């Protein structure tokens, strides 16, 4: 009895599935047409995603290039400022040394005159 019920259940399932395949979808398109449409849509989706990824990558590269250029300019400005500071320090040191030498010479001259 159980085998008969299982066989009838399988037959009913096959009949329903078979009828469902023969029946046209609600849009009137065949299953093949639906699959073709889905494949076309997937192709467009992949193309759009690839294009968006390329644009995002280009934007990121532009931003990185801008940031690198800005960092290079900042470093150049700081190096220029450091060089100017070093130049001023060298002038001050030279002036201080010259003053010390003149002062020492004056002291020697004064002692020599005494």
Residue 108: per-residue pLDDT: 82
Residue 23: per-residue pLDDT: 52
Please check whether residue 31 is in contact with residue 25, taking contact to mean a CB–CB distance below 8 angstroms: yes
Residue 114: per-residue pLDDT: 73
- Helix %, strand %, coil % for the chain, to 5? 90, 0, 10
Residue 12: per-residue pLDDT: 63
Residue 7: per-residue pLDDT: 64
Give the three-class secondary structure for 29. coil
Residue 49: per-residue pLDDT: 92
Show pLDDT as tens, one digit a residue, over the chain (114 residues): 566 665 666 666 655 555 544 455 566 667 778 788 888 888 888 988 999 999 999 999 999 999 999 999 999 999 999 999 999 999 999 989 988 888 888 888 788 787
Query: At CB < 8 A and 24+ separation, what contacts does 74-82 make?
Result: none
Residue 20: per-residue pLDDT: 46
Neighbour-count burial for 23-54, b at 16+ CB within 10 Å, e otherwise: eeeeeeeeeeeeeeeeeeeeeeeeeeeeeeee
């Amino acid at each position: 009895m159980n085998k008969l019920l299982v066989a009838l259940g399988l037959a009913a399932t096959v009949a329903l599935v078979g009828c469902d395949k023969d029946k046209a979808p609600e849009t009137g398109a065949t299953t093949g047409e639906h699959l073709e449409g889905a494949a076309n849509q997937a192709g467009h989706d992949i193309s759009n995603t690839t294009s968006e990824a390329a644009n995002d990558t280009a934007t990121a590269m532009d931003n990185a290039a801008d940031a690198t250029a800005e960092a290079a300019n900042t470093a150049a400005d700081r190096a220029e400022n450091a060089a100017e500071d070093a130049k001023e320090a060298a002038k001050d040191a030279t002036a201080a040394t010259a003053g010390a030498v003149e002062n020492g010479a004056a002291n020697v001259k004064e002692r020599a005159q005494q």
